[in-house]
Amino acid sequence: MSAQNETIRRITVPQIRDRKGGEPIVSLTSYHAHTAAIVDKHADFILVGDSLGMVMHGMESTVGVPLDLMVMHGRAVVRGTKRALIVVDMPFGSYEESPNMAFRNAAMIMKETQCQAVKLEGGARMAETIKFLVERGIPVMAHIGLTPQSTNVMGGFKTQGRDEDTWNMHIADAKAVAEAGAFAVVVEGVVEPLADQITAAVDIPTIGIGASKNCDGQILVLEDMLGLNPWVPKFVKKYGNLGPAIEQAVAEYADEVKSRAFPGPENVYNNK
């Protein structure tokens, strides 16, 4: 069978879970089909993050992201991919009220988008909900540490674990979501020694973002690492600088339109 005819199979939830302590897991966010198709070639899982509210729609936080927006972007990412596991964030207000509410919304997300898993924020306080979902066939990725949906309570995007007296609480959160059945846990915005302890304390993969290189995997917001946002957190490394390149291209286009250099003969149709 030729390489062109080989069936590309999606990475599965058990395959991600089994990567604990093995080859580091590669992940990025994506919100639309064309970038997802690029990321799909390199990432083990793609997160359709509620960060899309800030990145794509200019919101000040993720709190205002509605469920239907997650579904719309989730559909686009699934359409654009063949290989990576697709995880869709459950937005603020769609799962906290009760396990039953969480199941209804998670099931809708999976049915409408055809994603393979959902992600929700919260540690021990969400363990009952995670267990309820997993028992009913909804794979769950957990998210602890700096949880962006809780920034109004936290008082902003603040690094967690600077006070060592809080470490046991964060470790307990990680253990609680693992015991509840989460197949992986995002560890965001925590001091490196704490992230290392969390990774050692649980038997599911930890996915770091502003955490530690010793986590079982890493994730970044695609637009941040491509240099499309003028300001990014300290933990982001810019692997590209596309913002200025895009602006330069737009400016060149505008100049050529004004000077009538565009469209040229090669850009128009004739009757011959």
Per the annotation, the verdict on 252 as an active-site residue is: no
Residue 119 assigned as binding residue: yes
212 assigned ligand-binding residue: no
- Give one DSSP letter per residue of the chain, joined into a string: --GGGSPP----HHHHHTTTTSSPEEEEE--SHHHHHHHTTT-SEEEE-TTHHHHTT--SSSTT--HHHHHHHHHHHHHT-SSSEEEEEPPTTSSSS-HHHHHHHHHHHHHHH--SEEEEEBSGGGHHHHHHHHHTT--EEEEEES-GGGHHHHTSS--B-SSGGGHHHHHHHHHHHHHHT-SEEEEESB-HHHHHHHHHH-SS-EEEESS-TTSSEEEE-HHHHTT-SS---TT---S--HHHHHHHHHHHHHHHHHTT-SS-GGGS----
State yes or no: 272 annotated in a binding site: no
The verdict on whether residue 135 carries a ligand-binding annotation is no
Consult the annotation and say whether 223 binds a ligand. no
188, 223, 247, 256: the catalytic one is 188
Report the distance separating Cα 257 and Cα 254, nearest Å. Answer: 5
- List residues forming the annotated binding site for 3-methyl-2-oxobutanoate: 50-51, 89, 119
- List residues forming the annotated binding site for Mg(2+): 50, 89, 121
Query: Which residues are tagged catalytic?
Result: 188
